[in-house]
Structure 1
Amino acid sequence: MERWDVLVVGGGPAGTATALAARRTGASVLVLDRADFPRDKVCGDGIAAETLDVLAGLGVDPAAVVAGYPPVPRLALRSPGGATVDRATARPSFVVPRRVLDERLLAAARAGGAQFRRHTVRGVHAGPDGVVVDGIRAGVLVGADGAESVVRRALRLGSNRADRLAVAIRGYAPELPGRAGTQLLVTTEQRWPAYAWSFPLGDGRANVGYGELVSGGATRAALVAGLYRLLPGVAPGPLRAHRLPLSTGRPRLPDGRVLLAGDAASLVNPLTGEGIYYAVLSGALAGQAAAAGAGAGARYRAAMRRRLARHLPSSGIAARLSRWPALMDAAFRAADADQRVFDDVVALGLADGALTARTLAAAARRLAARRG
């Protein structure tokens, strides 16, 4: 039987980060994906600077990852009540279409010695001595196969509840006037919590979309209407939908030889829908933990806890607090008044920042002043 040290299902950012990290331990790695690359992937395409930091730690040149796509130095936010903030971020982000990004990351993993094969996974069988996937035996299996993960289902882990699952549509449109170099997020009280985005690629186009919780009764017609309501004048091409399993519904990471990374582990920020940073970080930690063999699950869970112990509870609390539009208005006004608060909010929404006392106090003061 064919044998590999680490078998990765999914060739996106989580899977390629896993492969890169595992190869750095000397493991033999095979990546399986049902698609050929390049292939499109429904996503906002935003890449935070912290994502590039993780990739650099895996030996990937950040400049090569974002080549051809200029930095996006500003972020603009609009609250449900109309409060706005438009500031430079501490470090610029980038907007790189997933068709480009994923192919580049997979090429980096293959250059590092990982093997790739197009294959649709049918069966997963885990035992004390290894894992067998469609006749391929591996010491450790990492499921990085997205929101509809076959590996997650094989572990008998169900989908997120409807109030911990979002759905979004995405398309590409001409860049909004006056928004060059600025990522835009617009929230709304209607069908709250929900938001639209416009992220410029730097070539005259922007990635635009709209998302909301499944529990709100989202339909395709409602999603399309929300996009046009929040971004009037936007003219996207074909719109595609995707699900976002939010981190507020993540399962307990299992022990043993089968790990989950990225969307398969419900690692999507509940405030912003950001998932690429989580995907790359969790993949890197999974690849490192795979060297432990039967102890990989415990090692991976401990590594995730160390790295995100403050962030994940903070994002969950912030997501619950954000259900009050007045509080969101106050937080946005506080971010508009104080660069440090703005930076805290950005780190919480796009990377692994925590909910700080400074941000809470500033928002409380704004809320009290508004009511007074």
Structure 2
Amino acid sequence: MEHWDVVVVGGGPAGAAAALAARRNRPSARVLVLDRTDFPRDKVCGDGIAAEALDVLGDLGVPPAAVTDGYPAVPRLRLRSPGGTTVERATARPSYVIPRAVLDARLIAAAQEAGAVLRRWQVRDVRVQDGHVELDGAVSAGVLIGADGAESVVRRAVGVRRNLPSQLAVALRGYAPEPPGQRGVQVITTTEQRWPAYAWSFPLGDGRANVGYGELVSGGATRAGLVEGLHRLLPGVEPDRLKAHRLPLSTGRPRQPDGRVLLAGDAAALINPLTGEGIFYAVLSGALAGAAAGSGADAGAHYRRALGHRLGGHLRHSSVVSRLSRWPVLMDAAFRAAAADQRVFDDVVALGLADGRLGVTTLAAAARSLR
């Protein structure tokens, strides 16, 4: 049986970050990345990349300019509340919109340049043994990192339950001509119909936009309903190649297990429950998992502590706000406060797209706007 120090299942942003971190933390480590498809390959996603995700990649030795090359900064964000309040402001730091076929290929190439080995392999069987983890009876790993997405084989193999329907969203995404007046502006618009639900339109800078619509599975989502919601919130937009995907929200994230098997990104249900953003969570959790992999049998405990230290407070805040957001009147109040105060706007953006928390200023401003 072929043995590797670290095996990463899934070569997306979480998996590539895990491989980069494992090699950076322990340059002699033998790191293998397994993915069921070849790169470049498409991945259903909103394609939005927050500046904080680029910070994590930069710390792993991947220059932000190498990630964003050919795609212009998107410096503004427009938000529409369920009640119709619209706010558009410059964000504290610009975001980028990069198709996943491009982003993922760049990141896995960086992991290979750092010394990781990539193979096309669809993992079917995972068995935890004393001192190692076996995959398909052919490969063994000192530590296994499951970064294989929402339908994670690794997560199922170690007995971690799936998210409940109320903790699971489904979204539809396609590409369309950039709507008039949207150059340099990301748009997120919400609605009281089938709440909580939202649509987005993110410009790529080449005349196209990534557009989509998502809602909770527990609301009875169907493909026809998703298409109707997209057209209702983004009238006149006619995307092609519509594809759907599931989003396991962080409100249903499992407790990271002890031992030699770690879960990162979507496999760990790390999707922002307010916006559906997952790339920042993916690269951050992947980086933390890769760094913890050097701890061998104690990797799970080390990773759990690191994840709690880095994201625990933010995840508690986003979970609370997610529950409060079930009342559209509270969302309207927050958006009115964001329209009146740049500091509130920045707080809201950081909570939805990165690792921010709601400060006293934001809570007080939202409370005042309720009156």
Could you tell me the TM-score, scaled by structure 1's length? 0.98
1:204 is aligned to 2:210: no
- One-letter amino acid of the structure 2 residue matched with residue 165 of structure 1: L
- Structure 1: how far apart are the matches of 2:30 and 2:77? 41
Q: What is residue 362 of structure 1 aligned with on the other side?
A: 365
- Structure 2: how far apart are the matches of 1:229 and 1:346? 24
1:331 is aligned to 2:334: yes
The runs of 5 or more residues in structure 2 that have no matched partner are: none
Aligned length: 368
After superposition, residues 282-361 of structure 1 pair within 5 angstroms as: 282-361=285-364
Q: What is residue 258 of structure 1 aligned with on the other side?
A: 261
SS at match of 1:348: helix
SS at match of 2:123: coil
Q: What is residue 120 of structure 2 aligned with on the other side?
A: 118
- Structure 2: how far apart are the matches of 1:128 and 1:106? 30
- Structure 1: how far apart are the matches of 2:300 and 2:256? 7
Superimposed CA distance per residue, residues 211-236 of structure 1 (whole angstroms, 9 cap, x where no aligned partner): 00000000000000000000001010
Q: What is residue 54 of structure 1 aligned with on the other side?
A: 56
- One-letter amino acid of the structure 2 residue matched with residue 22 of structure 1: A
Match of 1:84 among 83, 86, 92: 86
1:74 is aligned to 2:94: no
- One-letter amino acid of the structure 2 residue matched with residue 118 of structure 1: R
Q: What is residue 23 of structure 2 aligned with on the other side?
A: 23
Q: What is residue 42 of structure 2 aligned with on the other side?
A: 40
Q: What is residue 132 of structure 1 aligned with on the other side?
A: 134
The runs of 5 or more residues in structure 1 that have no matched partner are: none
- Structure 2: how far apart are the matches of 1:355 and 1:151? 34
Identity of aligned residues (%): 74
Superimposed CA distance per residue, residues 142-165 of structure 1 (whole angstroms, 9 cap, x where no aligned partner): 000000000000011121000000
Q: What is residue 7 of structure 2 aligned with on the other side?
A: 7
Could you tell me the TM-score, scaled by structure 2's length? 0.99
- Structure 2: how far apart are the matches of 1:358 and 1:255? 39
SS at match of 1:60: coil
Q: What's the RMSD between the two structures over aligned residues?
A: 0.5
Superimposed CA distance per residue, residues 196-221 of structure 1 (whole angstroms, 9 cap, x where no aligned partner): 00000000000000000000000000
> Are the aligned partners of 1:128 and 1:294 in contact in 2 as well (CA < 8 Å)?
no
> Are the aligned partners of 1:60 and 1:108 in contact in 2 as well (CA < 8 Å)?
yes
- Structure 2: how far apart are the matches of 1:359 and 1:171? 34
- One-letter amino acid of the structure 2 residue matched with residue 105 of structure 1: L
- One-letter amino acid of the structure 2 residue matched with residue 305 of structure 1: G
- Structure 2: how far apart are the matches of 1:367 and 1:232? 30
Superimposed CA distance per residue, residues 97-138 of structure 1 (whole angstroms, 9 cap, x where no aligned partner): 000000000000000000000001011011220111121011
- Structure 1: how far apart are the matches of 2:319 and 2:363? 14
SS at match of 2:240: coil
- One-letter amino acid of the structure 2 residue matched with residue 144 of structure 1: A
- Structure 2: how far apart are the matches of 1:359 and 1:149? 37
1:360 positional shift: 1.2
- Structure 2: how far apart are the matches of 1:2 and 1:124? 15
Q: What is residue 278 of structure 2 aligned with on the other side?
A: 275
1:82 positional shift: 0.3
Superimposed CA distance per residue, residues 224-249 of structure 1 (whole angstroms, 9 cap, x where no aligned partner): 00000000010101200000000000
| Structure 1 residue ranges, 4+ long, deviating more than 4 angstroms after superposition | none
